[in-house]
C-alpha cells in the first residue's frame, strides 16, 4: 500500500491528535513534516512522533518538496492564508471547519481552490462517525422513507472560556456550536431556505459580558419544504451529548449515545448508571481518524472529496442566518445572507 | 372508605373507558348514572357496568339528586353547556381538556365556576402519568437544578380522519396535539411569553384539503426568559411517541418510553426490537384512571383540584398563539392572544 | 356484567392488596367477606373497603352462603386446611403459591380437589405480568423458533428476616425464591428432568445461623433435552430485579426491566440514572390484579383455570430437587423427588 | 517515541488484522518481518503493508537479527514450537490464547519461558476492551463492593464448520468458546475451585457427528467460596453477544452491548431496532489493537506483562474441568485436572 507524505500545520490540541493519527494510526499516511509558530512545539511533536522535519513557518512546510499533501488545523482566522498558499502549490489540501468566519473570505478561498485545480477537502468529522455514516446509508437505502423532519441536539458539558466564547472570534454560539448540526442538516435534508431562532443567557450570566448566549433553539425550513430544529446548550453538565434524529415517512432513525464504555453500574445509591461521554474527543475520536484516512485515500486514489468548500460555506451561511434571526427576532432567508 | 356517587356524561371511546374506571377500578367512586344522547348507548353501558340509572338527556343526569359529582367527557363543543349546568347545581365537576376552543367561551365558564363556588377540575391526564409525576417530584426536589429548557415531542402513529383534523372543529394540529405539551410546558416552567412556529403538510398532502398540517415545530420563550421547543407530528408511523425533557442547570430529566411491555426480542431479521406503544390509551391508561381517582379524592376530602379552568385557558392560549405564529410567520406574544 | 361474590381469607400484606383489588379494582368481583384470625384485622379491613361481613374464623367465611368463591392468601402452612374446606363446599377456590411445602400435603390437596369437582386455581402471578404474557404469546407465534435455553435471574433487594428465611418455614432460598422461576421454566419449556445446584452464604453470614444461603445457581436439564439456568440472590441491593430470557433457534426474547417509572435522569454526579424497582409489589402490582381478575372471569365463564394444583406441585418438586442437589453436590433427577 | 521492531508469525484472518495494526495503527511498533508457511502469503502481506522482510519459515523470522520482538498468531498446535524458539532467542514474545490444548505442553512452554528470562505476554484481548477495563477499574475502586457472583454469556452468531468444531482440534465448545470467560472469571474473582456443567447438541444436530455440543452451562465455585456461571451458545443467531456481570455486595456491574453503531431505527415493521454486532472482530477490534499496543509498550518500557503463561494455563485448566464435568455429570475439582 503506497503511503501519502503529509505535512501538518497547526499543533494545538486537535493538531496533536492529528499528528498521532497521521504518524501512527493511518496506514495510508506518512507524516513527514509538522509546523507551528509556537516556540519549540513543532520540534517537540516531531521528536515525539518521529517526524523527519519540523517548521515554525507554515509557508516553509507548504514549500517543502517532500510534502505531497497538506492538513490544516490552525486557528480559524489563519485558514485562508494557509489554504491559499497550499492550493497555489497545487497540493491536495485538507482544512478543518469552518473555512472562515466570513462568507467573503470563503468566496476568496473557493476561487483560489477552483483556479488551482488542487484537491480540497473540508473537515466535518461527524460525517465519518460510524453512527452518522450508518444512518446516512440506511436513509439512502430507504429504510425510513422520505425524510420529513431533521432534529439535532448538541450539548457541551461545560462553559467555554469567555475568551473563546467571544463572538468576535467564535462567531457566537449558534455558529460555533451549530455549524456541525447545520452541516448535518444539509447532508441529510438538502439546502435550508429560512431560519428562525431564539436564544438566551440563562445558565452562565457571565457569558453576557462578552455578548454570547448559552442556550438556543433554531427552526429550519428546507428548500424542499421539510422542517428542522436544532437546539444547542453550553450547559449540558451531565456529559457531552450529541443526538440527531431524522423522521421519515416510514420510520425514524436516531443517532447518538450517552455511554462512553459498554458498562452499566447499579448501586443502592445511584440507580442504573452508565458512564457518560466526557467530551468530543471521546465521542468522535474514531471519526477524526476516519476523516483523515478518507482524505489520504482520496488523494492516493484521485477520488473527489465528499465534503467541499461549498459545504463549509453553506453551513456557515445557515449559522449566520440563525445568528441574525436570533438577534432580530425575524425569520431570515438563508439566500439573503451574503 | 366512603364512595362518591358520580354521574358520567359522554360515552364515546374515552367515555366508555371512564365508565369502566368509575364503576369498577376506583375504590373511591360509585358510578350511579350515565348519559349520552346517542340512541340506547347510555342504556347499554349502564347494563354492562351495573349502573343504576341512564339518561339520553345530560341535563336530566345533572339534575339527578343521587348524583353528587359530574364527569364530563362530551365533545369539546358541548363542554360549555354541560359545565355551566353542572356548576350551577353546585356539583363538583370534572371536564376533559380542552375546556373549549375559544377563549371567550372559556371566560364564560370560568365566571360561572367562580360564581357557583363548585369544585371544578380540568382534565390533563399526562400530569397523572407515573413518569411525569416522578419527573415533577424530582425537579421540585432539586435533582436537576433550575430548569432552563423544556423540550417536548408528540407523535401520533397515524393520520386522523379529514373530518377530525378539520381546524374548524379540532382547532388545527398545533392546538389539537400541542395542548398537552403546552400544559406540560406551563406545569414545568411557568407561563409562556411568546411563541414562534413553523409547520407544513409534508406527510399527508390530503390534510391540506381541510386546511390542516401534519408536522410542526413551536419555539417558546417563557416569561422567566427560559426557552422551550415542541415538535409535533401526525406521521409517527413507528408508534405513539410522547417524550419530554427538562434540562436544568445541574442535569437533565427525560420522560417517555417506546416499549409497551418489558420485553426485548432479537432475531436475525430484526436486530434488537422492542414492541412499541400503539396509541395513547396504551401509554396513558393508568394516567386516566389516576386522574379520575384524584378527582374523587379531592371531592371527598375537600381538597383544591391541582388543575383548574385557568390551566385549560392558558394552555389553549399558547396553542392559539402557536397557530397564529405558524400562519403569519411572526413571533406572537401570548398575552396578546384574546 | 355479573359480579362474583368473593370471600377472602388471610389479610397479611398481600391479603390487604387483594382486598383492595377485589373490592374496588376488578369489575367482575364483589368482595362480600373477609377473614383473618388476628384480632380485629378482618373487621378493620371490612370497614376500610365497605365489605359486608368479616370473620375471625376462616371456616365461618367458607360456610357463608353469600360467598360464592374463595381466595386464600393465608400463610403456606394453612393452605391445606383452607383449600380442603373450601373445595369440600364445592366453592371455586384460588390459592396463593406454593400450595404447601411437602409433596405429600399437596397430593392430599390434589385428591380433595379432584373428588370435589370444584374449580381450583393456583397462584403464580408472573404469568399474568404483561411482559411474561407477551413473551409467551410471541414464542407461541414462533417469533424466536424452537426454545433451546431458559435463563432466569431473581434478585431480592434486601435480606429477609432470619425468622422468615429459616428453611423450616420458607423451604430454603432455592425453593422460596426459586419457585417462581421453576414455574416459569416449566411454562416456557416443559417438565424438568434433572437439576444441579451450587449455593453459598457469602453476602449475609448471619443467614448461616438459621441454615439458609443467600446466593445460588441451579442448572436445569429439561425432559426434552433442552437446558436452563436459574440464579438467585438475596443481595440485589440495587433494586428488585427479575429477568428472564428464552433463547430460541431463531432469536431470543428477554423479559424484565429495572425502571420503576419511564424517566431518565442525568447529572454530573450520577451519570445516566433510571429509578430502579423497589420490590415485587411495584414490579408485579398489575400482575396480581390481573391474576385475581382472571380467576373471577374463569369462575363466571366456567373456564378451566390456566394454572392447576399440578403446576404448584411440579414447581415445588423442582425446588426440592434443587435444594437436595445443592446440599449433596449431586445432580438430582426430578422424578425421584417424592 | 521509539518504535519496537516486531516480527509477526501467522497470517490467517487474525494475523492479517495484526499485520495492519502493527504496520500502521500502533505508534509504538514497526512491523519489520512477517512469516507464514502458506505459499506467497507472507510476501503478499509484506507488499500490502510495506513490511521490509517476509518468510515462509517462521524459524528464519525468529532468527532475523532485525526483529526485536515476536508476535505469534499461528494455529494453536504450532504455538509451542514457536514460543520455545522465540524465547530461546530471548526475544520478547506475545502469543495468542490458548497457549496449547494440553496442560503438559503448556508446562513445557512455561519452563522454557522461565529459563530464558524473556518477556512473555499471553493474549486475552477482552481484558483490553474499554468495557472490561472500565469494569475492572470500577470494581477495584470499590464501586460495587466485594464481588459475590460472576456471570458470563458468550454467543456466537452462527455454527462453526464441523472441521473447526471437532474437539480434537478445538478442545470442544466449553474450552473453545469458554476459555475467554474462564479467563475473565479468574481476572475478576480469582481461582476456580470446582466446576459442574451441562451441555447438549440441540441447535445443530450435525455437530454431534464430530462429537461437539452447541449449548452449555457451567457453574463455578471459586476458591474464595464465591459463585459463578457461564453459559455458552453456538446458535446466537441474532448477533454476536458477549455479556458479563459481576454482582457485588454493594451493587452490580454489567459489561456488553448489542449495538454495532450508535443508531436506533424504528419503523412500522420492526419496532425499535438497533443494528446488532455481527461478530468478534466488530466487537473487539479496538481490544485487539490495544492488546498489541500494550505488548509493545511493555517491551519498550520493560514492564511486566499483565497476562502470563500461568493465566493461559489456568484458564485452560478450568476449560478442561468444565469439559470433563459435562461428560461425566460430576463436579470436577480444578486442581485435580493435570
How many other β-carbons are positioned within 10 Å of the β-carbon of residue B201?
A: 18
A85: which strand partners?
A: none
Residue with cell 485452560: D316
Mapped onto helix, strand or coil, the DSSP state of residue D14 is helix
**What is the rounded CA–CA span in Å between residue A115 and residue A129?**
32
Q: Of D142, D145, D73, D80, which Cα lies nearest the Cα of D109? A: D80
- Cβ B271–D268 below 8 Å, yes or no? no
Phi, psi of B64 (to 5 degrees): -55, 115
**What is the rounded CA–CA span in Å between residue C98 and residue D102?**
49
* Residues D112, D84 contacting (CB under 8 angstroms): yes
Span between the terminal Cα atoms of chain A, in Å: 45
Q: Which chains touch D (3 or more CB pairs under 8 A)?
A: A, B, C
Residue C145 has pLDDT above 70, yes or no: yes
**What is the rounded CA–CA span in Å between residue A105 and residue A109?**
6
D271: which strand partners?
A: D267
* Residue A266's pLDDT band (cuts 50, 70, 90): confident
Q: What is the residue-wise DSSP string for D44-103?
A: HHHHHTT-SEEES-HHHHHH-TT--EEEE-S-GGGHHHHHHHHHHTT--EEEPSPS-SSH
Residue with cell 429509578: C275
**What is the rounded CA–CA span in Å between residue B201 and residue D43?**
62
Tens digit of each residue's pLDDT (9 = 90 or more) over D293-320: 999 999 999 999 999 999 999 999 999 9
Q: Tell me the pairing of strands C29-35 and C4-9.
A: parallel
**What is the rounded CA–CA span in Å between residue D243 and residue D258?**
9
DSSP letter, residue A52 = S
For B107, left (φ over 0), alpha (ψ -120 to 50), or beta? alpha
- Cβ C27–B23 below 8 Å, yes or no? yes
> Which residue in chain B is spatially nearest to A159 when comparing CA positions?
B249
Average pLDDT value for residue range C204-231:
97
Whether ipTM tops 0.90, in short, is yes
* Residues A322, A197 contacting (CB under 8 angstroms): yes
Residue A54 CA to chain centroid, in angstroms?
26
* Residue B272's pLDDT band (cuts 50, 70, 90): confident
Query: Which of D202, D217, D249 is nearest residue C229 as measured by Cβ atoms?
Result: D217
Which cell goes with A267?
Answer: 448501586
- Cβ A272–C266 below 8 Å, yes or no? no
- Cβ A226–B202 below 8 Å, yes or no? yes
How many other β-carbons are positioned within 10 Å of the β-carbon of residue A270?
A: 18
Alpha helices in chain D (DSSP H): 13-24, 41-48, 58-63, 79-88, 103-116, 130-140, 162-165, 167-170, 173-176, 178-189, 280-300, 309-328
- Cβ A275–C273 below 8 Å, yes or no? no
Q: Of A310, A320, A334, A302, which Cα lies nearest the Cα of A111? A: A310
pLDDT value at residue A260? 64
Q: Alpha-carbon torsion C135, B270, A129, A146, what sign?
A: negative
Which cell goes with A290?
Answer: 476516519
A62: which strand partners?
A: none
* Residues D189, D150 contacting (CB under 8 angstroms): yes
Q: What is the residue-wise DSSP string for B96-165?
A: PSPS-SSHHHHHHHHHHHHHHT--EEE--GGGGSHHHHHHHHHHHTTTT-SEEEEEEEEE-SSPPPHHHH
Lowest mean pLDDT: which of A277-286, C13-22, D229-238?
Answer: A277-286
The C-alpha angle with vertex D62 and arms to D61 and D67, in degrees rounded to 5, equals 80
Which cell goes with D179?
Answer: 476459555
| Interface with C, mutate which of B27, B262, B277, B282 (most C CBs under 10 A) | B262
**What is the rounded CA–CA span in Å between residue D114 and residue A1?**
40
**Torsion, CA C38, CA C39, CA C41, CA C47, rounded to 10:** 150
- Cβ D251–A262 below 8 Å, yes or no? no
**What is the rounded CA–CA span in Å between residue A36 and residue D221?**
59
Nearest CA distance, D258 vs chain B (angstrom): 8
- Cβ C239–A273 below 8 Å, yes or no? no
* Residue B161's pLDDT band (cuts 50, 70, 90): very high
C241: which strand partners?
A: C155
* Residue A296's pLDDT band (cuts 50, 70, 90): very high
D222: which strand partners?
A: D192
**Torsion, CA C282, CA C287, CA C293, CA C299, rounded to 10:** -140
* Residues D97, D123 contacting (CB under 8 angstroms): yes
Which cell goes with A68?
Answer: 505531497
- Cβ D273–B271 below 8 Å, yes or no? yes
Residue A262 has pLDDT above 80, yes or no: no
Please return the burial class of A141, using the count of CB atoms within 10 Å of its CB with bins 0-12, 13-18 and 19+.
exposed
Which cell goes with B238?
Answer: 413507528
Query: Which of B24, B256, B261 is nearest residue C27 as measured by Cβ atoms?
Result: B24
Listing from the earlier edge strand, what are the strands of the sheet with D4-9? D53-55, D29-35, D4-9, D69-72, D93-95, D120-122
pLDDT value at residue D1? 62
Which cell goes with D146?
Answer: 466485594
Phi, psi of B104 (to 5 degrees): -65, -45
| Numbered residues of chain B with Cβ closer than 8 Å to any chain C Cβ | 1, 3, 20, 23-28, 48-50, 130-131, 133-135, 138, 143-144, 250-257, 260-268, 270, 275
- Cβ D271–B267 below 8 Å, yes or no? no
- Cβ C149–D236 below 8 Å, yes or no? no
The C-alpha angle with vertex C328 and arms to C327 and C330, in degrees rounded to 5, equals 125
Q: Which residues in chain D are closer than 8 Å to A46, comparing Cβ atoms? A: none
- Cβ C253–B275 below 8 Å, yes or no? no
Q: Which residues in chain C are closer than 8 Å to A270, comparing Cβ atoms? A: 270-271, 273
Q: Of D250, B162, C74, B89, which Cα lies nearest the Cα of A269? A: D250
Which helix (H) or strand (E) covers residue B320, if one does? helix B309-328
Mapped onto helix, strand or coil, the DSSP state of residue C225 is coil
Q: Tell me the pairing of strands B332-333 and B192-200.
A: antiparallel
- Cβ D238–B268 below 8 Å, yes or no? yes
Which cell goes with A131?
Answer: 453512527
Query: Which of C258, C259, C271 is nearest residue A275 as measured by Cβ atoms?
Result: C271
Residue C32 has pLDDT above 90, yes or no: yes
- Cβ C271–A237 below 8 Å, yes or no? no
Tens digit of each residue's pLDDT (9 = 90 or more) over C44-72: 999 999 899 999 999 999 999 999 999 99
Lowest mean pLDDT: which of A48-62, A244-258, C27-41?
Answer: A244-258
Which cell goes with A72?
Answer: 490544516
Q: Which residues in chain B are closer than 8 Å to D276, comparing Cβ atoms? A: 266, 271-272
Query: Which of D237, D258, D267 is nearest residue B238 as measured by Cβ atoms?
Result: D267
Higher pLDDT, residue C134 or B120: B120
Residue B159 has pLDDT above 80, yes or no: yes
Which cell goes with C292?
Answer: 385475581
Q: Which residues in chain C are closer than 8 Å to B131, comparing Cβ atoms? A: 261-263
Which cell goes with C155?
Answer: 434478585
Q: In the structure, how many helices (H) and strands (E) does chain C have?
A: 12, 15
pLDDT above 90 covers a percentage of chain B that reads 85
Q: Which residues in chain C are closer than 8 Å to B267, comparing Cβ atoms? A: 143-144, 250-252
Alpha helices in C162-304 (DSSP H): 162-165, 167-170, 173-176, 178-189, 280-301
> Which residue in chain A is spatially nearest to C277 when comparing CA positions?
A271
pLDDT value at residue B188? 98
Residue with cell 518521529: A50
pLDDT value at residue D2? 77
Tens digit of each residue's pLDDT (9 = 90 or more) over C242-290: 999 999 999 999 998 766 666 777 787 767 776 677 888 888 889 999 9
Residue A225 has pLDDT above 80, yes or no: yes
* Residue D152's pLDDT band (cuts 50, 70, 90): very high
Please return the burial class of A163, using the count of CB atoms within 10 Å of its CB with bins 0-12, 13-18 and 19+.
exposed
Residue with cell 452451562: D217
Q: Which chains touch B (3 or more CB pairs under 8 A)?
A: A, C, D
Tens digit of each residue's pLDDT (9 = 90 or more) over A11-65: 999 999 999 999 988 989 999 999 999 999 999 999 999 899 999 999 999 999 9
| Numbered residues of chain C with Cβ closer than 8 Å to any chain A Cβ | 237-239, 258-259, 265-268, 270-276
**What is the rounded CA–CA span in Å between residue A91 and residue A116?**
9
Query: What length does chain D have?
Result: 338
pTM attached to this predicted model: 0.91
Query: What length does chain B have?
Result: 338
Query: Which of D20, D260, D262 is nearest residue A27 as measured by Cβ atoms?
Result: D20
Residue with cell 479467563: D183
- Cβ B237–D267 below 8 Å, yes or no? yes
Query: What length does chain A have?
Result: 338
Q: Which residues in chain C are closer than 8 Å to A239, comparing Cβ atoms? A: 266, 271
* Residues D35, D60 contacting (CB under 8 angstroms): yes
Span between the terminal Cα atoms of chain D, in Å: 44
Phi, psi of B248 (to 5 degrees): -110, 180
Which cell goes with A212?
Answer: 454570547
Q: What is the residue-wise DSSP string for D203-260?
A: S-GGGGGGT--SEEEEEEEETTS-EEEEEEES--TT--EEEEEEEESSEEEEE---EE
Which helix (H) or strand (E) covers residue D149, if one does? strand D147-155
- Cβ B203–A250 below 8 Å, yes or no? no
Q: Of A216, A230, A247, A221, which Cα lies nearest the Cα of A153? A: A230
Tens digit of each residue's pLDDT (9 = 90 or more) over C168-194: 989 999 999 999 999 999 999 999 999
Amino acid at each position: 500500500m503506497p503511503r501519502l507524505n503529509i505535512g501538518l500545520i497547526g499543533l494545538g490540541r486537535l493538531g496533536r491528535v492529528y499528528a498521532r493519527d497521521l504518524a501512527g494510526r493511518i496506514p495510508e499516511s506518512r507524516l513527514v513534516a509538522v509546523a507551528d509558530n509556537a516556540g519549540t512545539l513543532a520540534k517537540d511533536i516531531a521528536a515525539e512522533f518521529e517526524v523527519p522535519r519540523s517548521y515554525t513557518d507554515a509557508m516553509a512546510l507548504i514549500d517543502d518538496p517532500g510534502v505531497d499533501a497538506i492538513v490544516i488545523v490552525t486557528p480559524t482566522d489563519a485558514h485562508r492564508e494557509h489554504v491559499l498558499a497550499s492550493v497555489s502549490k497545487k497540493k491536495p489540501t485538507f482544512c478543518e471547519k469552518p473555512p472562515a468566519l466570513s462568507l467573503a473570505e470563503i468566496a476568496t478561498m473557493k476561487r483560489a481552490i477552483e483556479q488551482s485545480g488542487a484537491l480540497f477537502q473540508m473537515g466535518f468529522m461527524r460525517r465519518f462517525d460510524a453512527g452518522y455514516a450508518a444512518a446516512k446509508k440506511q436513509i439512502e437505502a430507504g429504510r425510513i422513507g422520505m425524510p420529513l423532519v431533521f432534529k439535532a441536539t448538541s450539548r457541551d458539558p461545560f462553559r467555554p472560556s469567555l475568551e473563546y466564547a467571544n463572538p468576535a472570534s467564535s462567531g457566537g454560539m449558534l455558529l460555533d456550536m451549530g455549524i456541525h448540526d447545520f452541516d448535518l442538516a444539509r447532508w441529510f435534508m438538502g439546502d435550508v431556505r429560512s431560519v428562525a431562532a431564539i436564544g438566551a443567557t440563562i445558565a452562565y450570566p457571565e457569558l453576557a459580558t462578552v455578548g454570547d448566549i448559552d442556550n438556543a433553539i433554531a427552526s429550519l425550513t428546507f428548500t424542499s419544504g421539510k422542517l428542522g430544529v436544532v437546539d444547542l446548550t453550553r450547559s449540558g453538565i451531565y456529559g457531552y451529548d450529541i443526538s440527531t434524529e431524522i423522521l421519515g415517512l416510514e420510520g425514524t432513525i436516531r443517532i447518538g449515545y450517552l455511554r462512553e464504555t459498554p458498562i452499566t453500574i447499579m448501586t443502592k445509591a445511584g440507580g442504573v448508571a452508565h458512564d457518560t461521554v466526557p467530551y468530543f474527543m471521546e465521542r468522535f475520536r474514531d471519526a477524526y481518524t476516519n476523516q483523515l484516512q478518507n482524505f489520504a485515500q482520496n488523494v492516493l486514489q484521485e477520488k473527489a472529496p465528499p465534503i467541499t468548500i461549498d459545504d463549509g460555506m453553506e453551513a456557515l451561511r445557515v449559522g449566520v442566518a440563525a445568528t441574525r434571526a436570533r438577534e432580530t427576532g425575524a425569520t431570515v432567508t438563508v439566500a439573503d445572507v451574503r
